Amino acid sequence: MKKTLVTALVALAVAPFAAPVAAQTKLDFILNWVPGGDHAPYYYANKMGWYAKEGLQVNLEPGKGSMLAVQKVGAGANPIGLADMANVLVGRGKGAEMVGVFNVYANSPQGMYWLKSSGIKGIKDFAGKKIGNPAGDGARTMWPALAKHNGIDPKSVTWVNIDANAKLAALKAKSIDATTSFYNIHHVFQRELGDDMGFLAWRDAGLNPYGNSVVVNADFLKKNKPAIEKFVKVTQKAFAACVADPKPCVQALIDANGALKFDNEMTNWHLVEVLMSDKFSKTVALGIHDDGRMAADYALVKEYIGLDKEFDVKTTYTNEFLDRSIKMTK
* Domain ranges within the chain, ordered by starting residue: 25-107+210-316, 110-205
User: Which pLDDT score, from 0 to 100, does residue 137 have?
Assistant: 82
User: Which pLDDT score, from 0 to 100, does residue 12 have?
Assistant: 36
Q: Do domains 25-107+210-316 and 110-205 have the same CATH topology?
A: yes
Whole-angstrom distance, CA of residue 15 vs CA of residue 21: 13
User: Which pLDDT score, from 0 to 100, does residue 1 have?
Assistant: 41
User: Which pLDDT score, from 0 to 100, does residue 20 have?
Assistant: 41
User: Which pLDDT score, from 0 to 100, does residue 196 have?
Assistant: 97
User: Which pLDDT score, from 0 to 100, does residue 250 have?
Assistant: 98
pLDDT tens digit at each of 330 positions of the chain = 434 433 333 343 333 433 344 578 999 999 999 999 999 999 999 999 999 999 999 999 999 889 999 999 999 999 999 999 999 999 999 999 999 999 999 999 999 999 999 999 999 999 999 999 988 787 888 899 999 999 999 999 999 999 888 999 999 999 999 999 989 899 999 999 999 999 999 999 988 999 999 999 999 999 999 999 999 999 999 999 999 999 999 999 999 998 999 999 999 999 999 999 999 999 999 999 999 999 999 999 999 889 999 999 999 999 999 999 999 997
pLDDT tens per residue across span 212-258: 999 999 999 999 999 999 999 999 999 999 999 999 999 999 999 98
User: Which pLDDT score, from 0 to 100, does residue 22 have?
Assistant: 54
Q: What's the chain look like in SS3? A: CHHHHHHHHHHHHHHHHCCCCCCCEEEEEECCCCCCHHHHHHHHHHHCCHHHHCCEEEEEECCCCHHHHHHHHHHCCCCEEEEEHHHHHHHHHCCCCEEEEEECCCCCCEEEEEEHHHCCCCHHHHCCCEEEECCCCHHHHHHHHHHHHCCCCHHHCEEEECCHHHHHHHHHCCCCCEEEEEHHHHHHHHHHHHHHEEEEEHHHHCCCCCCEEEEEEHHHHHHCHHHHHHHHHHHHHHHHHHHHCHHHHHHHHHHHCCCCCHHHHHHHHHHHHHHHCCHHHHHCCCCCCCHHHHHHHHHHHHHHCCCCCCCCHHHHECCCCCCCCCCCCC
User: Which pLDDT score, from 0 to 100, does residue 309 have?
Assistant: 97
- Architecture of the structural domain at 110-205: 3-Layer(aba) Sandwich (3.40)
In DSSP terms, which residues pair with 56 in a beta bridge?
A: 25
Fold annotation for 25-107+210-316: D-Maltodextrin-Binding Protein; domain 2 (3.40.190)
pTM, full prediction: 0.86
User: Which pLDDT score, from 0 to 100, does residue 11 have?
Assistant: 40
